[in-house]
Amino acid sequence: MMSNPSFAAMRQEIEAHLRDTILPFWKSLRDDEHGGYVSFVGYDLARDPQGERGCILNSRILWFFSQAVITLGDKSLLPYAEHAYKALQSMTDPVNGGVYWSMHADGTVLDSTKHTYNQAFAIYALSYYAKASGDKTALDRAFDLFDIIETKCRDEGGYLEAFTADFRPESNEKLSENGVMATRTMNTLLHVLEAYTGLYDVTRDARVGDALRFALDIFEKHMYNPVLRRQEVFFDHEYNTLIDLHSFGHDIETSWLADRTLEILGDDELTARLRPILMTLANQTYKVAFDPVKGFANECERGVVNQSRIWWVQAEALVGFLNAYEKTGEARYLDAALSQWSTIKRIIIDPRPGSEWFWCTDADGVPNADKPIVEPWKCPYHNGRMAFEVIERSKHAHV
């Protein structure tokens, strides 16, 4: 159990922040008139109840409240998860199956794209909602989406990206960035892996276990670059990388998310082969992205480091370093996790009443006023999960 006083203090502060700031903020966005949750809060804290209702945001809110019930043992939070679950049902295509990209606030379809990334997050959310609520119908819906990904969104080489409403391939603007158009992405594979890990954690279904091994094989053979000690990010169909880009945040996130997959699978041979790669990702980002005073940089494109301090990157770095400490015993990683929390408190948490975390700041901690507090990608998933991970690890790890 806990023995490090600095970790114990951080854990106490993070749980208090979860209970006093993150949970109340997202509870306050519940929309009983239109269903779901208000999906846009500007930097000025003005709320737009008519904003785009993204499936990714709603799935992450569903997961967040479900996991809060599980981690905190607080059943009073279950109605908030149920509210998001009802909204997710309305985002499901009754004809072709799968979930849409986004909806209008009135419940009509705004963007009918079916993206593998979206299907994955819905699986992740439904799996833990089923665990929190005991609703077996939610698991049936998760398996429906699992079957859709495996039959419509995958080929012999791996997972594809964007599709029309009736699952015809279309261009992948939504998960492509940095001036390239990707046929396959590291980001989608990572979150398919995460979603399937959640579904396997709840069900131990053999088909899901086989799909996890398939995804890990792709990570090892195609995503990980052993020469540069990083993951490549954007690919063509044959896994040729499209750009010189090191995504620091995704690498530190992968280092612990894929490690969680190994823990849940319990395959000793697979763990012996892949855990060293994951610890290499943690070590490399520690060396090139981490500053003990200013936090964790965003990415490096063609040799130029983007020094923005992004909300989700700071949260994932804290968990990734904590996981690396637990797996290696190297004190520098625990120190890094503790300093990440100091950075988050100092520059990422918005001190204004009625707010939550800034989207990003510069390296000196100045917030970007052009970025909202909530939008279809800005959610309680990363910071909420950081809190849950710290709480859960305090119960089981010798920190």
Could you give the angle at which helices 186-203 and 206-218 cross, rounded to 10 degrees? 150
- Residue span of the structural domain in which 323 resides: 53-332
Q: What is the DSSP letter of 35?
A: S
Q: What is the pTM of this model?
A: 0.97
Q: How would residue 270 be classed by pLDDT, with cut points 50, 70 and 90?
A: very high
* Mean predicted lDDT score pLDDT of the chain: 96
Q: What is the pLDDT of residue 395?
A: 87
Amino acid, res. 106: D
Q: Would you say residue 390 lies in a domain? A: no
**Identity (one letter) of the amino acid at 71?**
T
pLDDT at 60 over 90: yes
Task: Output the pLDDT for position 5.
Answer: 80
Q: 44-49: long-range contacts at Cβ-Cβ below 8 A with a sequence spacing of 24 or more? A: 45/352, 45/354, 45/355, 45/373, 49/105
Q: At what angle do helices 55-72 and 116-133 cross, to 10 degrees?
A: 30
Segment 134-152 shows an average pLDDT of 98
- pLDDT > 80? residue 132: yes
| pLDDT per position as a tens digit, 346-371 | 999 999 999 999 999 999 999 999 99
CATH number (domain holding residue 166):
1.50.10.10
**Residues 132 and 66: beta-carbon distance below 8 Å:** yes
CA 54 – CA 29 distance, rounded (Å):
14
Q: Is residue 109 part of a domain?
A: yes
Tell me what pLDDT residue 399 has.
Answer: 59
b/e sequence 92-127, b meaning 16+ C-beta within 10 Å: bbeebbbbbbbbebeeeeebbbbbbbbbbbbbbbbb
∠ at Cα 79 (74, 81), nearest 5°? 85
Q: What is the pLDDT of residue 4?
A: 82
Q: What integer is the mean pLDDT of 78-97?
A: 97
Residue 20 domain-assigned (yes or no) = no
Residue 297 has pLDDT above 70, yes or no: yes
The span from the CA of 256 to the CA of 262, in Å, is: 10
* The total number of structural domains that make up the chain: 1
- φ/ψ (deg, to 5) at 224: -80, 130
39: helix, coil or strand? Answer: coil
Residue 373 has pLDDT above 70, yes or no: yes
Segment 162-179, tens digit of pLDDT: 999 999 999 999 999 889
Mean pLDDT of 267-286: 98
Find out whether 125 and 194 touch, Cβ atoms under 8 Å: no
Q: Answer whether residue 215 is part of any domain.
A: yes
Domain for residue 45, yes or no?
Answer: no
Q: Are 84 and 158 in contact (CB under 8 A)?
A: no
Sole residue written with tokens 């490549």: 232
Q: How far apart are CA 298 and CA 250, in angstroms?
A: 9
pLDDT band at 398 (very low <50, low <70, confident <90, very high): low
359 domain residue, yes or no: no
Pairing outcome for strands 184-185 and 234-235: antiparallel
pLDDT, residue 176, reads 92
Inside any domain, residue 138: yes
Q: How many CA atoms lie within 13 A of 6 on its CB side?
A: 11
Q: Provide the 3-class DSSP secondary structure of residue 65.
A: helix
Q: Residue 304: what residue type?
A: V
Q: How far is CA 120 from CA 117, 156, 187, 225, 298, in A?
A: 5, 19, 11, 25, 24
Residue 254, domain member (yes or no): yes
Indicate whether 238 pLDDT > 70: yes
